[in-house]
Amino acid sequence: MSAAADQGARLLIVGPPGAGKGTQAVRIAESYGIPAISTGDIFRANVKNETPLGVKVKAILDAGDYVPDSLTNELIQDRLAQPDAEGGFLLDGYPRTNDQVAFLDALLESKGEQLTAVVQLVADQDEIVERLRKRAVEQGRSDDTEEAIRHRQEVYLRETGPLIDAYGERELVLEVDGLGSVDEVAGRIDDALASRGIRPTAAA
């Protein structure tokens, strides 16, 4: 059994758009032997496979509405019940609201489990805006203006603020500098997780 599975690494990752969260989520999943679970991926998989939950999601999205907490919670509960998540997981994009936090707490508690840590990628907003603006120019996305990029950063801060506060009170949040090369940031994440006794499976 892997080190991550031994210690039940049940993690969240949060970070502003442009901080490389998706890249680091994939790397953490591979290094620690746990599935990276993204709400977006779950929605798409269920819709594509036309599961009962997917049919509900598609109807809501087709109507231009937001998927309610109750349905998002149901999808997460279904995903965490799958065998690959038994030894731990990395959640990306969930929870987003206090109600979702409460649901996840109750779900884990019902299994005699609890969250291990929240990896929070932090970065100077001006540097991230500059990085994304350059990327938009290189990729020919003229509609991705500095104003639009800053708006997404503000939405992120507004949405995740209460989440970070809630988990910060439990001393679960590990702040990691998200600026630098992929390997540099990965090394900082490994160091932060090691401080909680969580190590890559290769170290098992």
Single out the catalytic residue among 58, 150, 152, 196.
Answer: 152
Single out the catalytic residue among 48, 111, 134, 141.
Answer: 141
| Cα–Cα distance for residue pair 109/198, rounded to 1 Å | 20
The verdict on whether 152 is a catalytic residue reads yes
Tokens representing 120 are 């929070």
Name which of 101, 107, 50 is nearest 78 in CA terms.
107
What letter represents residue 7's amino acid?
Q
The verdict on whether 21 is a catalytic residue reads yes
The verdict on whether 141 is a catalytic residue reads yes
What letter represents residue 16's amino acid?
P
What is the C-alpha radius of gyration for the chain, rounded to an integer number of angstroms?
Answer: 17
Question: Are 24 and 131 a contacting pair, CB within 8 Å?
Answer: no
Single out the catalytic residue among 44, 48, 134, 135.
Answer: 135
| Cα–Cα distance for residue pair 204/154, rounded to 1 Å | 40
Single out the catalytic residue among 56, 96, 150, 196.
Answer: 96
Name which of 1, 88, 94, 83 is nearest 40 in CA terms.
94
Name which of 96, 100, 92, 97 is nearest 20 in CA terms.
92
The verdict on whether 150 is a catalytic residue reads no
Single out the catalytic residue among 21, 27, 133, 199.
Answer: 21
List active site positions. 21, 96, 135, 141, 152
